């Protein structure tokens, strides 16, 4: 039987491999006290913690009402100190800046960021609060191409999904990196060098207590010797471009998510590299 892409039972939550152990009532109380410092007489309700969650962060869903208006919200929570980290430093403020810049400069459906909070006392870790977007996500587990609403779609529907996703990438590359807080690498050559250096630092961090990879180290040596001196302007790069990070409505992008790896990059390498 074909999966209805509008069926909320198939919103891809099973694609997230980490379960939350938070108490929804504790979350609700904490968020309501926190919101009371920012808006007048908020009421937080319907806290929903998905049965499984992301590996690099945790997602909490909740409703809130203030000033006579209902808000459907998402709290993206940085990994706790006790979690196995995916990043050496989880920068929610940087994600918020990039998302706000993309929303201001393009028609890309990026969730509106309301606030960021660096104090871990509220939810046990820093978090950001953004608007909630309805849609469905191509699942990761099992991968969407192994059998899902994507594979069960018609060719025309998949073409709509493909073209809309490529348009998202094209729009991202029109955003001035300076407005996204990524102005340190203005030309493509510098952006490539910075990216390779960052990946090398990440490799060193991930292998600090585990085995190293001669293949990866040879690749870094080759890259160091072949980085082009490209004076072309660098552009904003999403950094995690895949349909599993997009919510879809009727096969059109409805929400573009997960901006943890945003960086500057050379446009022609993005398309042809």
What residues are annotated to the active site? Answer: 240
At which residue do the structure tokens 């990440």 appear? 202
Look-up of token digits 């990438």: 169
| Cβ(150)–Cβ(161) below 8 Å | yes
What distance in Å separates the CA atoms of residue 108 and residue 112, rounded to the nearest whole number?
A: 11
Report yes or no: 20 and 40 within 8 Å, Cβ to Cβ: no
Q: How many whole angstroms separate alpha carbon 252 and alpha carbon 56?
A: 26
Are β-strands 234-237 and 263-266 bridged in parallel, bridged antiparallel, or unpaired? antiparallel
Tokens read off for 219:
């690749």
In angstroms, the CA 151 to CA 149 distance is 6
Q: What is the dihedral of CA 233, 238, 242, 248, to 10 degrees?
A: -120
């Amino acid at each position: 039987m074909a999966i209805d892409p509008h069926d909320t039972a198939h919103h891809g939550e099973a694609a997230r491999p980490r379960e939350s152990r938070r108490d929804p009532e504790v979350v609700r109380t904490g968020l309501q006290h926190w919101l009371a410092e920012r808006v007048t007489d908020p009421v937080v309700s319907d806290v929903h913690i998905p049965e499984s969650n992301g590996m690099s962060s945790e997602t909490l869903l909740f409703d809130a009402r203030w000033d006579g208006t209902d808000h459907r919200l998402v709290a993206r929570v940085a990994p706790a100190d006790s979690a196995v980290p995916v990043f050496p430093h989880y920068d929610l403020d940087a994600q918020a800046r990039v998302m706000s810049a993309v929303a201001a400069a393009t028609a890309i459906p990026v969730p509106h960021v309301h606030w960021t909070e660096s104090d871990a006392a509220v939810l046990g870790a820093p978090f950001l609060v953004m608007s909630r977007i309805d849609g469905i996500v191509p699942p990761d587990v099992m991968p969407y191409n192994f059998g899902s609403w994507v594979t069960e779609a018609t060719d025309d529907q998949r073409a709509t999904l493909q073209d809309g996703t490529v348009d998202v990438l094209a729009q991202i590359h029109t955003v001035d990196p300076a407005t996204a807080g990524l102005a340190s690498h203005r030309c493509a050559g510098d952006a490539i060098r910075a990216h390779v250096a960052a990946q090398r630092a990440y490799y060193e961090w991930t292998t600090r207590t585990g085995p190293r990879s001669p293949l990866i180290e040879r690749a870094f040596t080759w890259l160091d010797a072949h980085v082009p001196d490209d004076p072309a302007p660098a552009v904003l790069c999403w950094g995690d471009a895949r349909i599993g990070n997009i919510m879809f409505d009727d096969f059109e992008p409805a929400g573009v998510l997960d901006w943890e790896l945003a960086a500057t990059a050379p446009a022609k390498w993005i398309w042809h590299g």
